[in-house]
A and B are shown apart, each in its own frame.
Chain A
Amino acid sequence: MSRNPLIREVPPTSWYFRHPLYLRYMSREITSIFIGAYCVLLVVGLQRLAAGPAAWEGFVTALQSPASIVFQFLCLVAAFYHAATWFNATQKAMPLQIGEDFVPGNVISGAHYAAWAVLSVVVLFFTGVF
């Protein structure tokens, strides 16, 4: 260490403006707030369901209000972004080696996207959409 090294502090509340990649990271972190809020909404829904048919009808009506639809749309977008960034990261997090070679990263991510699509269809089927 030199006699008088210069220490350059990282700004603790604005560091993520330094690079687009940091902003993308923070935007992914923010999606967690929407996903958490939607989980709370589901818990409230369960509680309303347990409270009886009238409470449940009131809950369903509230879900159809414009503000609620906007909220659910934002949650859906956030969930898509959160899921997609995670699926893209699986290439590094879950490398699959067969013999001397590794399965290409886009196959690993692609398998996650495919499983996501299939499970979504299954869920939609059981909810009576089809």
Chain B
Amino acid sequence: MKERLVQLEVLRYNPDTDTEARFQRYEVTCAEEWVVLDALNKVKADIDPTLNYRWSCHMAVCGSCGMMINGEPKLSCHTFLRDYEGVIRVEPLVHFPVERDLVTAPDDFMEKLKRVKPYIIPKEKKPISEGEYKQTPAQLMKFRQYSMCINCMLCYAACPEYGLTPHFIGPAALTLAHRYNQDSRDGGRKERQEVVATHEGVWECTFVGACSESARRTSTPRAPCSR
């Protein structure tokens, strides 16, 4: 198995003792095919058990391990070490408060997500005895792309507008709102517009497009704002 010596520069912050963050450098021997998350796991296991970060699935599905890697928001489980030369700088996602080390507080995002009502609000409620709400493949395709969001918050870290204007609802929440607005079974567009069609919503977007770049494997947050 081919190996490589990897240097990681990780942002550290301890809320109990620190007033500001500092970088700490680690050197770990990694397998050629490892991702950044593997390197962090090795650091935690062999060098520094105090290092904190979130992860769960290790397969780009759960959206827990988002970090800034050399200044770009990435899923650390989906970022291969072999794609980087020299020191790899790992920081918590920007635009979010840092709880500890690489762990950020997602409270603001969760609150905004809730406000856009990301669930089906049926046009007309009908009893179960009348059967399911049917949908054609074409109707499904209309919103399928926007349902791929895994709530990883990379698009919020990529969006300078969210960083500069924290009241902005942000890319993922707008994408989810659009996803349900496009659903043939849904009748909640008017309710969502109270949040989406405001200066906190789509009108705050300035079409930088960084959200879609960060989330290109999953959703396309830029599209709902553009439309």
Residues of A within 8 A of B (CB): 1-8, 10, 12, 15-16, 18-19, 21-22, 25, 89, 92-95, 97, 99-102
Residues in A whose Cβ lies below 8 Å from that of B223: 92-93, 95
> Are the CB atoms of B94 and A8 closer together than 8 Å?
yes
- Max chain A Cβ within 10 angstroms of own Cβ: one of B105, B138, B160: B160
Residues of B within 8 A of A (CB): 13, 15-16, 18, 20-21, 71-72, 94-95, 97-100, 105, 107, 137-138, 141-142, 160, 163-164, 206-210, 212-213, 220, 222-223, 226-227
Contacts A19-B72, A21-B209 aside, 4 further interface pairs with beta carbons under 8 A come to: A1-B97, A89-B226, A93-B223, A93-B226
A-B contact pairs, 19 of them (CB 8 A): A1-B105, A2-B97, A5-B98, A6-B15, A6-B18, A7-B98, A10-B95, A15-B160, A18-B160, A19-B71, A19-B210, A21-B210, A25-B210, A89-B222, A92-B223, A95-B227, A97-B138, A97-B142, A100-B141
Complex CA distance for A99 and B222, rounded to whole angstroms: 23
Question: 4 nearest interchain CB pairs?
Answer: A93-B226, A5-B97, A4-B15, A10-B163
Residues in A whose Cβ lies below 8 Å from that of B209: 21, 25, 89
CB nearest neighbor in A for B17: A4
CB nearest neighbor in A for B164: A10
> Are the CB atoms of B160 and A10 closer together than 8 Å?
yes
Complex CA distance for A93 and B227, rounded to whole angstroms: 5
CB nearest neighbor in A for B73: A19
B213's partner among A7, A21, A95 (CB-CB below 8 A) is: A21
Residues in B whose Cβ lies below 8 Å from that of A101: 141
